[in-house]
């Protein structure tokens, strides 16, 4: 069993930056793809970014537009999502997940509880 705990969320002004962390315990994240998803109120959960088990491949949703960077530190068993140039429409609960490299939620087996990101002036 894997426990994933997200942190780093909060409130930020438009144009600001924020780094989310996802710490895994119980099992390693090594060799597994890690993904970030988000869900805004009244909307379905949507894919944000994913990184392969080796860390050599990444894939982002179109709306990221180069503003986010996903990375991983397997020694720390942690994955990160660095976000910059944040927009109000980025407001959502952000979830990390462990699974297979891809952009659909069904490809991920283990999920964290989420961390809230609010972009507002």
Torsion over CA: 85, 95, 11, 70 (sign): negative
Mean pLDDT by 10 residues, the chain (121 residues): 95 98 90 96 96 94 96 95 98 97 96 97 94
**What pLDDT score was predicted for residue 107?**
97
**What pLDDT score was predicted for residue 55?**
86
**What pLDDT score was predicted for residue 46?**
97
End-to-end CA distance of the chain: 40
């Amino acid at each position: 069993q894997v426990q994933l705990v997200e942190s780093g969320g909060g409130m930020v002004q438009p144009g600001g930056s924020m780094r989310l962390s996802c710490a895994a315990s119980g099992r390693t994240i090594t060799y597994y793809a890690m993904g970030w998803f988000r869900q805004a109120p009244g909307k379905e959960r949507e894919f944000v970014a994913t990184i392969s088990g080796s860390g050599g491949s990444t894939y982002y949703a179109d709306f990221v537009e180069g503003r986010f960077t996903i990375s991983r530190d397997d020694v720390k068993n942690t994955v990160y999502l660095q976000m910059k140039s944040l927009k109000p429409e980025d407001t959502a609960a952000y979830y990390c997940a462990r699974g297979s490299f891809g952009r659909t939620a069904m490809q991920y087996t283990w999920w964290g509880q989420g961390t809230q990101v609010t972009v507002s002036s």
